[in-house]
Amino acid sequence: MEYRTAGEGETEALGERLGKTLSPGAVVAFTGDLGAGKTAFTRGLARGLGIPGRVTSPTFTIVNEYEGGRLPLFHFDMYRLGGSDELFDIGWEDYLRRGGVCAVEWSETVSDALEGCIRVDIRRGEGENDRIITICEGDGT
Ligand SMILES: Nc1ncnc2c1ncn2[C@@H]1O[C@H](COP(=O)(O)OP(=O)(O)OP(=O)(O)O)[C@@H](O)[C@H]1O
Ligand SMILES: [Mg+2]
């Protein structure tokens, strides 16, 4: 499904809607440039999961963990990862087993390791604040 948003708040609201539908073990894999809105969308996911508090970019930590919602949220930023081999080093499989939601920024870096996930691609539209967001569920719909 393709959506268009005209500001950060609308992207967050779209993330919130998706967050309400997610099941334990869901992986949301983002693609899209710097400043596309991946963290903004993830902030919405957190809200949809009922997680209190502030979601910040995990750029320097690779993963941030948020508890206190319907499901835990593990927010990854793979920008600095060398490739999917390094996923094992950060304990990716343990995160998958914990029955939370994994939101993965810069999933391009590890795309060969992410099968059956929900793909969220965010690109810029015509105006400064326009974004075109494509959400593709694991089964290809
Ligand atoms: N429609 C929109 N949706 C989301 N963000 C928007 C939109 N319009 C403008 N913005 C701005 O774009 C920026 C998006 O930042 P954000 O940190 O979410 O991007 P990102 O994709 O996570 O980038 P990075 O790759 O650096 O982590 C914010 O400054 C936000 O205010
Ligand atoms: Mg980000």
- What are 124's strand-pairing partners? 131
Average pLDDT, the chain: 94
Q: What is the pLDDT of residue 138?
A: 75
105 lines ligand 1 (CB under 6 A): yes
CA 138–ligand 2 middle distance (angstroms): 22
CA 32–ligand 2 middle distance (angstroms): 10
CA 98–ligand 2 middle distance (angstroms): 23
47 lines ligand 1 (CB under 6 A): no
- Residues 118-139 pLDDT 10s: 999 999 999 999 999 999 987 5
Q: What is the pLDDT of residue 141?
A: 40
State the Cα torsion 74-122-107-61 to the nearest 10°: -50
Ligand 1 atom closest to Cα of 130? 1
- Residues 36-51 pLDDT 10s: 999 999 999 999 999 9
38 lines ligand 1 (CB under 6 A): yes
Long-range contacts of 123-126 (CB under 8 A, 24+ apart): 123/32, 123/33, 123/36, 124/33, 124/36, 125/4
Successive 10-residue mean pLDDT values, the chain, 141 residues: 98 98 97 97 98 90 95 96 91 94 96 90 98 85 40
Nearest by Cα to 46 from 26, 75, 24: 75
CA-to-CA distance for 17 and 21, rounded, in angstroms?
7
pTM: 0.96
| Residue having the nearest C-alpha atom to atom 9 of ligand 1 | 129
37 lines ligand 1 (CB under 6 A): yes
